[in-house]
Amino acid sequence: MEEVVRRWDVSSGECLHIYQKSGLGLISCAWFPDGKQMLCGVTDQNICLWDLDGKERESWKGLRATRTADIAVTEDGKWIISMCRETAISLLDREAKQEKVINEEQTITTFSISKDGNFLLVNLINQEIHLWSIVDEPKLITKYKGHKCSRLVIRSCFGGLKQAFIASGSEDSQDSMLSLLFVIC
């Protein structure tokens, strides 16, 4: 409701810092891999990088962004990935200051990135999960169907040895895709 991000001390329950931009809301956030910085998606279509003390270090405006509803960063800190429209994900190369876009035909509900930063799982409102390779140019690898998702947001994930598998839940408790879906070679 406040449209701010709060950083808490997990042990004491103390609020250590409040991150905010005057007159703007923060709608998504992600830790930078070094653990000393935080990315936030802002309602003015920007993505901000803050240090732990609340000093804004960098800011990017996506080339095609209408809002930043979900955000992630690769382990090497090179790529910032954000859901910039209902049907699009932005891949922003911090070093080259270039943006690539993954366009889907259906509304995106969530996405997850592999630890190595090579793959992206995209959950869609039509109950499909798309696996994208994001090395070089984004390329759709495969589509998965079978899970049920009507009321809840289902987030798929990478896991297993060397993150060689993906898994997802299902609302019907019958057709759960918690079984392994795909081996990434």
- The hierarchical CATH code for the domain 5-103 is 2.120.10.30
User: pLDDT grade, residue 151 (50/70/90)?
Assistant: low
Percent of the chain with pLDDT over 70: 78
- Pull the structure tokens for residue 148: 């049920």
pLDDT tier at 181, thresholds 50, 70, 90: very low
pLDDT, tens only, 3-28 = 778 889 999 999 998 888 776 666 77
In this prediction, residues 118-136 reach a mean pLDDT of 90
- What is the average pLDDT across 79-108? 88
Spatial separation of the C-alpha atoms in residues 123 and 95, rounded to whole Å: 28
pLDDT number for residue 13: 94
Instruction: Answer whether 25's CB lies under 8 Å from 40's CB.
Output: no
Task: Give the predicted TM-score (pTM) of the model.
Answer: 0.76
pLDDT digits (tens, 9 = 90+) for 46-60: 788 889 988 988 887
Segment 67-83, tens digit of pLDDT? 556 788 898 888 888 88
Domain range annotation of the chain: 5-103
More confident residue, 132 or 84: 132
Contact between 70 and 111 under an 8 Å Cβ cutoff? The reply is yes
Confidence of residue 107 (pLDDT cuts 50, 70, 90): confident
Vertex 89: Cα angle to 88 and 91 (nearest 5): 140
Contact, 20 vs 42, CB < 8 A?
no
